[in-house]
A = this chain, B = another copy of it.
Amino acid sequence: MEGREEKDFIAILREHGLQVTYQRLAIYQILYYSKEHPSAESVYQQVRKRFPMISLGTVYKALEKFHEVGLLQKVSHVTDVTRYDATLTPPHHHLVCVKCQKIQDYHDSSLTEEATPAEKNGFKIIGQQVLFHGYCPSCLGTMV
């Protein structure tokens, strides 16, 4: 199973014109399976379990490469640091808590009609995201 999964990721990277390394595979797998929309630091901490020698700089460089070819999105300016989200997953939107900075996926097909836009105002569109910001349930509970 591990093997099959890994082979898939190799193909994905190649198809997007990226050179394949073990570090990049590990980083993209973490992003792909994560549900927390991790920061670079968080990805770094997780990759370190498998590659103790990896550096934070390498993580940033890999994330930037993935972003350039459209394999991930940078999410939300409400948060203090950049948070990353793998694309290649079903289209979805994000709920961002302005207090604790939790980011939760939000699925709503009625918002996704325009899922794969092509051109608007002369722009060639390569991606889209819908961001909602507000207060998450637990932060609502702690507000006086």
Contacts and interface: CB of A to CB of B under 8 A. Distances in A.
A95 B98 CA distance: 23
- Give the interface SS of chain A, mostly helix, strand, loop or mixed: strand
A131 B129 contact: yes
A43 interface: no
Interface string A71-106: 000111110001000000000000101100000101
Interface residues of A, number: 36
Interface of A: 74-78, 82, 95, 97-98, 104, 106, 108, 110-111, 113-114, 117, 120-137, 140
27 contacts: A74-B77, A74-B78, A77-B82, A97-B123, A104-B121, A104-B123, A106-B120, A108-B120, A110-B113, A110-B114, A120-B132, A121-B137, A122-B140, A123-B132, A123-B134, A123-B135, A123-B137, A124-B135, A124-B140, A125-B132, A126-B134, A127-B134, A128-B130, A128-B131, A128-B133, A129-B130, A129-B131
